[in-house]
A and B are shown apart, each in its own frame.
Chain A
Amino acid sequence: MRFTLRVWRQKDAKSPGQFETYEVDGVPADASFLEMLDILNEKLIKEGKEPVAFDHDCREGICGSCGLFINGRAHGPLPNITTCRLYMRHFKDGDTITIEPFRARPFPVIKDLVVDRSALDRIIQKGGYISVNTGSAPDANSIPIAKAAADRAFDYATCIGCGACVAACKNASAMLFTSAKVAHLALLPQGQPERRERVKRMVAQMDAEGFGHCSNTGACAVECPAKIPLSAIARLQRDFIWANLTPDPYAR
């Protein structure tokens, strides 16, 4: 297959970027999108040009490294997948494909299509954990958890932190990401002691990083490779309202 690629090239966070147009030919239909970029980069290296920088790691859809805003959508034209699981057979031979980095103020471009997503890590650092005394391993099943609760919590726990929700959101909001962690821990007994503080601290960090507000358009859930449902956001909203409207039972 043959493609015309419009790729965003940017030297670093401070330099302005621009699109460069490249032609790639002889791409197998079963190549993944990232493999297609590998083919482009081999060609660029042979021509003595700078290869296109892009993020990738596991290439099996579980790590959340690959970004890319392809033809106007996070992770390309299919819903709920990562870029590494997007195959060239989903495009037409001869297509022009526009590739941009994820764009948000908290995601500065490091180079070309690589953005710095550590703002998401800093949100997790504010509450994506439970505090326990370490020591000998606890007995199995010492805290009984209903199957339904465990299942729902796991649905939210599957977030891979790729940032597609932020990229797809018209407001560059990180609500789906943040709420996935809040909802996950809010459903489990281990998450209860810090539940009120967690939601407040994580929302405060989300705002401090410069992410936008959520306006419930649902674009995030359409693009999310882990299929985090919008009910995560409803659970965050509920916890946040509750934590702010009711007196803290642990306050001195």
Chain B
Amino acid sequence: MAQAASPAVGWLHTSVGRKVVMAATGIFLMTFLVVHLSGNLLLLRGDRGAAFNAYAEFMSTNPFIRVLEVLLFLGFLIHIYQGLYFILKEKQARPQRYTLNAAHANTSLFSRTMRISAVVVLVFLIVHMRHFFVEHRILGTSLTMYESCKIAFENPLYSAFYLFSFLLLGFHLVHGFYSSFQTLGVILNARVERLIRTVGIAFTVFITVGFSAIPIYFLAAKYF
């Protein structure tokens, strides 16, 4: 993204173009969340991971998924790069900050905490990748994917961190979902805005509650 602008993609380097990149990668990452969650919910089948392990095997060997995995990694990198760039630009656009700023009066909690939620989700992602991706795909552990999940989620500390991360991901999604569609120029009137905001909340609840159910399920199975 940092190279010299060519005519065809030069517009992506404008402030408005960068917003579009942020929105497009954001929507791509949101679709990934749906796919990831639908696979993970197989953990809740109570078949000691038979279905989930088969799914994990498919996901780590199918060549089409391999390609998508690279795109996903790029999607994350570009989304994070744009976020960092925007932080830098914000400081440049207002070098002298306000002494008193009542931002709570005209913005939502979710939009104000985008950076905090982004950092928490990034830390989660690193821990998550270390635990599953590195362990299975690089170090080649003898555990099945289901066993790895069981070990992770039966640890209350890991589960608490997981639940906290997904709550903050929910924060990120409330603003992110609405913002993506606003950036793509979809929200032309109040009716469409209500629709997008409602669907965004429903999507956020689905993702947050869906992912959160998994550690709760494992902890409940262990302790009750």
Number of A-B contacts (CB under 8 A): 141
**Residue contact A212 to B17, C-beta cutoff 8 Å:** no
| B186–A234 CB distance below 8 A | yes
Q: Is the CB of A171 within 8 A of B106?
A: no
A111 to chain B, nearest CB (A): 15
Which residue among A206, A230, A237 has the maximum number of chain B CB atoms within 10 Å of its CB? A237
Given contacts A218-B111, A231-B187, contact A73 B19 (CB under 8 A): no
Partner-A contacts on B (CB < 8 A): 11, 14-20, 86, 89-90, 92-103, 105-108, 111-112, 114, 175, 178-179, 182-189, 193
Contact assessment for B20 and A217 in the assembled complex, using a CB-CB cutoff below 8 Å: no
In contact, A241 and B20 (Cβ under 8 angstroms): yes
A196 vs B155: C-alpha distance when bound (angstroms): 57
A153 to B64, CA, bound (A): 48
State the CA gap A217–B50 with chains docked (Å): 45
Task: Say whether, besides A213-B19, A215-B111, A72 and B98 are in contact (CB < 8 Å).
Answer: yes
Collect the chain B residues with CB atoms within 8 Å of residue A98's CB. Answer: 99-100
Contact A203 B93 (CB under 8 A): no
In the complex, the answer to whether B184 meets A217 with C-beta atoms within 8 Å is no
Report whether A230 and B14 are in contact in the complex, using a CB–CB cutoff of 8 Å: no
Q: Which of B86, B102, B111, B183 is the one whose CB lies under 8 Å from A73?
A: B102
In the bound complex, CA of A71 to CA of B98 (Å):
10
B211 to chain A, nearest CB (A): 25
Q: Is A173 an interface residue (CB 8 A)?
A: yes
Q: Contact between A100 and B86 (Cβ–Cβ < 8 Å)?
A: no
Nearest chain B residue, comparing its CB with the CB of A98: B100
8 Å CB contact of B19 from A69, A77, A214, A223: A214
Q: Shortest distance in angstroms between A208's beta carbon and chain B's nearest beta carbon?
A: 10
Name A residues whose Cβ lies closer than 8 Å to a Cβ of B. 19, 69, 71-73, 77, 79, 98, 100, 103-106, 168, 170-173, 175, 200, 203-204, 206-207, 210-219, 222-223, 230-231, 233-241, 244
A-B contact pairs, 9 of them (CB 8 A): A19-B99, A69-B98, A77-B105, A170-B107, A207-B15, A211-B15, A212-B90, A215-B19, A218-B111
Residues of A within 8 A of B17 (CB): 240, 244
- Rounded to whole Å, the gap between the CB of B191 and the closest CB of chain A is 11
A216-B179, A217-B112, A241-B185 are known contacts. Are A236 and B94 too (CB-CB below 8 A)?
no
Please, how many angstroms separate the alpha-carbon atoms of A85 and B103 in the complex? 21
Q: Are A215 and B93 in contact (CB under 8 A)?
A: no
User: How long is the Cα–Cα vector from A213 to B16 in the complex, in angstroms?
Assistant: 7
A69 contact set on B, CB distance < 8 A: 98
Q: Smallest CB-CB separation from B107: which chain A residue?
A: A217
- Most chain B CB inside 10 Å of its own CB: which residue of A100, A168, A217, A230: A217
CB closest chain-B residue, reference A8: B99
Taken together as a complex, chains A and B put the C-alpha atoms of A98 and B98 apart, in Å, by: 10
Contacts of B94 in A (CB 8 A): 103-105, 171-172, 212
| Residues on the B chain within 8 Å of A206, using CB | 15
Q: How far is the CB of B57 from chain A (nearest CB, A)?
A: 40
CA distance A216 to B20 in the complex (A): 12
Tell me the nearest residue of chain A to B11, going by C-beta.
A244
Known: A72-B98, A103-B94, A214-B19. A230 touches B182 (CB 8 A): yes
**What separation, in Å, do the CA atoms of A68 and B219 have in the docked complex?**
55
**Shortest Cβ distance from A223 into B: residue:** B106
**B93/A171 in contact, CB under 8 A:** yes
Closest residue to A199 on the B side, CB-wise?
B16
Known A-B contacts A212-B94, A213-B15; the reply to A170 vs B182 at CB < 8 A is no
Question: Bound complex: CA of A234 vs CA of B193, how far in Å?
Answer: 11
The smallest C-beta distance from A221 to any residue of chain B, in angstroms, reads: 9
Min CB distance, A79 to chain B, in Å? 7
Residues of chain A with a CB closer than 8 A to B96's CB: 103
In the complex, how many angstroms separate the beta carbon of B212 from the nearest chain A beta carbon?
Answer: 27
Could you tell me the distance between the alpha carbons of A72 and B112 in the complex, rounded to whole angstroms?
A: 15
Once the chains bind, are B14 and A215 in contact (CB under 8 Å)? no
